[in-house]
């Protein structure tokens, strides 16, 4: 737990008067490898991190939601029967979106007073929004006396994003925020939703997250653009190979794509090459992880970053500077951007004995090349969303 629950409870009492009757949490995540593959029905390998969103709540007798976002010092009120977006308090949309999906499933919903407190950095590619959705879902589960299965909970979160919030995102973030497990990474097949928890078994290497501390405003539109480009490549392959049932890039192999280099125009071709090669790397990364082979995993992470920079074009000058600086430092097995891209964080696999020096030198080098102050986050894999 990274949030002090007693303090959060005290804040709840101060804000709403009286004791809460439910406390829930959900973590942020970092993706080790498998980027921009989820919405193509490919493979991902994320882990939940020791940064989380906590909700302290009490049932209300009516159908209203009274929320206090203590980090932002913002308040919002909504009705669970008139579910509308809130332009002034957009963070509330994630919670109202969850009620909308629960209502569609005819699950018991009630009003609540609740306080939200979290330490997942906002807008940095560590899935603060998935953490908020999955924490909100846990709150409604605890009040309604029902519990969704892990994959169904994640799918509900994805529908909130795709529907209420209008983002074409995949299922990775919600899945890991709900199903993550302490000391494990999670290998997910985004088509079947079969998953495997892989123990973190590197004898001497650890993951280090480096935040560029800059996010780009255009992430959502650029993201949706990439989704469209992948679809275009898929349709061209579907027509070429006469595979009428194909729906996602997952229905094709990298070799099948490569022979069409001259007939699929760019950028669609390069986008698809990233996705299909990333699926191969992600499966190889699982093997490396099971074998505790940090050197091999590091190489795959670096290859993933090259592909995201050159073929998928979702890095930024700051992400490139951070990853390049990391690779020059002693003890670094590999470095790559993580999450949607265009800003946010990198993830690095580093020898434990070098971590302190690595963190210091990396921040120095990043400052020297960009003029910006970054931030290092070191985290073990954490548990998924729970009712405390
Ligand atoms: C965002 C989305 C995920 C995934 C990543 C890129 O985090 O929410 O579904 O597509 O970007 O891998």
Tell me the pLDDT band of 218, cut-offs 50, 70 and 90: low
| Number of other CB atoms surrounding residue 372 within 10 Å | 14
From 41, 11, 52, select the one nearest 135 (Cα to Cα).
52
Determine the average pLDDT of the residues in 275-289: 98
From 254, 322, 309, 311, select the one nearest 283 (Cα to Cα).
254
> Which pLDDT value is given to residue 274?
99
Query: Which residue has its alpha carbon closest to ligand 1 atom 2?
Result: 169
Compute, in angstroms, the gap from residue 39 CA to the centroid of ligand 1. Answer: 8
Query: Which residue has its alpha carbon closest to ligand 1 atom 11?
Result: 340
Distances (CA, A) of 253 to 230, 273, 327, 355: 14, 10, 30, 38
Query: Which residue has its alpha carbon closest to ligand 1 atom 1?
Result: 340
* pLDDT tens digits, one per residue of 34-70: 999 999 999 999 999 999 999 999 999 999 999 999 9
Contact of 320 with 336, CB cutoff 8 Å: no
CA dist., res. 241 & res. 372, Å (int):
48
Compute, in angstroms, the gap from residue 223 CA to the centroid of ligand 1. Answer: 9
Tell me the pLDDT band of 216, cut-offs 50, 70 and 90: confident
Both tokens of 295, joined, read 């050197």
* pLDDT tens digits, one per residue of 123-138: 899 999 999 999 999 9
Active-site residue list? 173
From 158, 153, 127, select the one nearest 140 (Cα to Cα).
153
Q: Is 149 exposed, middle or buried (0-12, 13-18, 19+ CB in 10 A)?
A: exposed
| Number of other CB atoms surrounding residue 239 within 10 Å | 11
CA dist., res. 254 & res. 161, Å (int):
29
Nearest ligand 1 atom to alpha carbon 171: 9
Judging by DSSP bridges, how do beta strands 112-118 and 64-69 pair with one another?
parallel
Share of the chain above pLDDT 90, in %: 96
- Determine the residue of 127, 154, 173, 220 to mutate for testing ligand 1's pocket, defined as the one with the most ligand atoms within 8 A of the Cβ atom: 173
Query: Which residue has its alpha carbon closest to ligand 1 atom 9?
Result: 170
- Determine the residue of 339, 341, 342 to mutate for testing ligand 1's pocket, defined as the one with the most ligand atoms within 8 A of the Cβ atom: 339
CA dist., res. 227 & res. 328, Å (int):
33
* pLDDT tens digits, one per residue of 161-174: 999 999 999 999 99
Lowest mean pLDDT among 88-97, 208-217, 274-283: 208-217
Distances (CA, A) of 254 to 187, 193, 321: 20, 22, 29
Nearest ligand 1 atom to alpha carbon 35: 12
Compute, in angstroms, the gap from residue 214 CA to the centroid of ligand 1. Answer: 17
> Which pLDDT value is given to residue 171?
98
- Determine the residue of 174, 177, 340, 342 to mutate for testing ligand 1's pocket, defined as the one with the most ligand atoms within 8 A of the Cβ atom: 340
From 188, 166, 163, select the one nearest 175 (Cα to Cα).
188
Determine the average pLDDT of the residues in 220-229: 94
CA dist., res. 105 & res. 286, Å (int):
35
**What is the 8-class DSSP label of residue 160?**
I
> Which pLDDT value is given to residue 329?
98
Determine the average pLDDT of the residues in 178-201: 97
- Predicted structure pTM score: 0.97
Compute, in angstroms, the gap from residue 90 CA to the centroid of ligand 1. Answer: 19
> Which pLDDT value is given to residue 219?
78
> Which pLDDT value is given to residue 332?
98
From 298, 291, 295, 248, select the one nearest 36 (Cα to Cα).
248
- Determine the residue of 34, 36, 226 to mutate for testing ligand 1's pocket, defined as the one with the most ligand atoms within 8 A of the Cβ atom: 36
Share of the chain above pLDDT 70, in %: 99
List strands edge to edge, sheet with 205-211.
332-338, 345-351, 205-211, 375-378
- Which helix or strand (DSSP H or E) is residue 23 part of? strand 22-33
- Average pLDDT taken over every residue of the chain: 97
Contact residues of ligand 1, CB 6 A cut-off: 31, 35-36, 38-39, 169-170, 172-173, 339-340
Match 């073929």 to its residue by tokens. 311
Compute, in angstroms, the gap from residue 172 CA to the centroid of ligand 1. Answer: 6
> Which pLDDT value is given to residue 271?
98
- Which helix or strand (DSSP H or E) is residue 254 part of? helix 254-258
Q: Is 117 helix (H, G, I), strand (E, B) or coil?
A: strand
Nearest ligand 1 atom to alpha carbon 127: 7
From 335, 331, 321, 332, select the one nearest 364 (Cα to Cα).
321
Strands (E), 262-359: 332-338, 345-351
Compute, in angstroms, the gap from residue 129 CA to the centroid of ligand 1. Answer: 11
Both tokens of 244, joined, read 């009428």
Q: DSSP 3-state helix, strand, coil percentages of the chain (rounded to 5)? A: 45, 20, 35
From 239, 241, 260, 257, select the one nearest 249 (Cα to Cα).
257
Q: Is 365 helix (H, G, I), strand (E, B) or coil?
A: helix
Determine the average pLDDT of the residues in 145-165: 97
Q: Is 313 exposed, middle or buried (0-12, 13-18, 19+ CB in 10 A)?
A: middle
Compute, in angstroms, the gap from residue 348 CA to the centroid of ligand 1. Answer: 18
């Amino acid at each position: 737990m990274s949030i002090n629950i007693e303090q959060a409870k005290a804040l709840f009492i101060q804000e709403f008067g009286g004791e809460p009757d439910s406390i829930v949490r959900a973590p942020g995540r970092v993706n080790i490898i498998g980027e921009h593959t989820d919405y193509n029905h490919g493979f991902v390998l994320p882990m939940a991190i020791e940064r989380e969103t906590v909700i302290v709540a009490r049932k209300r007798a009516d159908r209203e939601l009274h929320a206090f976002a203590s980090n932002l010092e913002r308040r919002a009120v909504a009705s669970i029967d008139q579910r509308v977006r809130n332009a002034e308090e957009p963070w509330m949309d994630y919670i109202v979106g969850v009620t909308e999906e629960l209502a569609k499933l005819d699950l018991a919903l009630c009003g609540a007073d609740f306080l939200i407190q979290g330490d997942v950095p906002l807008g940095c590619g560590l899935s603060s929004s998935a953490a908020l959705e999955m924490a909100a879902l846990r709150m409604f589960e605890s009040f309604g006396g029902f519990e969704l299965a892990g994959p169904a909970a994640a799918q509900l979160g994805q529908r909130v994003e795709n529907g209420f919030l209008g983002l074409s995102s995949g299922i990775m973030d919600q899945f890991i925020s709900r199903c993550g497990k302490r000391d494990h990474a999670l290998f997910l097949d985004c088509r079947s939703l079969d998953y495997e928890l892989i123990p973190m078994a590197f004898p001497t290497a650890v993951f280090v997250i480096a935040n560029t501390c800059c996010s780009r405003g255009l992430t959502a539109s650029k993201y949706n653009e990439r989704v469209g480009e992948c679809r275009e490549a898929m349709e061209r392959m579907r027509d070429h190979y006469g595979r009428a049932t194909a729906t996602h890039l997952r229905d094709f192999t990298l070799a099948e794509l490569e022979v069409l280099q001259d007939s699929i125009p760019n950028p669609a071709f390069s986008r698809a090459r990233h996705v299909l090669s990333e699926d191969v790397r992600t499966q190889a990364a699982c093997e490396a992880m099971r074998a505790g082979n940090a050197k091999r995993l590091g190489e795959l992470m670096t290859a993933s970053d090259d592909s995201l920079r050159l073929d998928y074009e979702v890095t930024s000058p700051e992400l490139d500077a951070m990853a390049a600086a990391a690779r020059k430092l002693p003890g670094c097995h590999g470095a790559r951007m993580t999450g949607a891209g265009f800003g946010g964080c990198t993830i690095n696999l580093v020898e434990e004995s070098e971590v302190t020096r690595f963190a210091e030198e990396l921040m120095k080098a990043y400052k020297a090349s960009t003029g910006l102050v970054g931030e290092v986050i070191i985290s073990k894999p954490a548990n998924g969303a729970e009712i405390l």
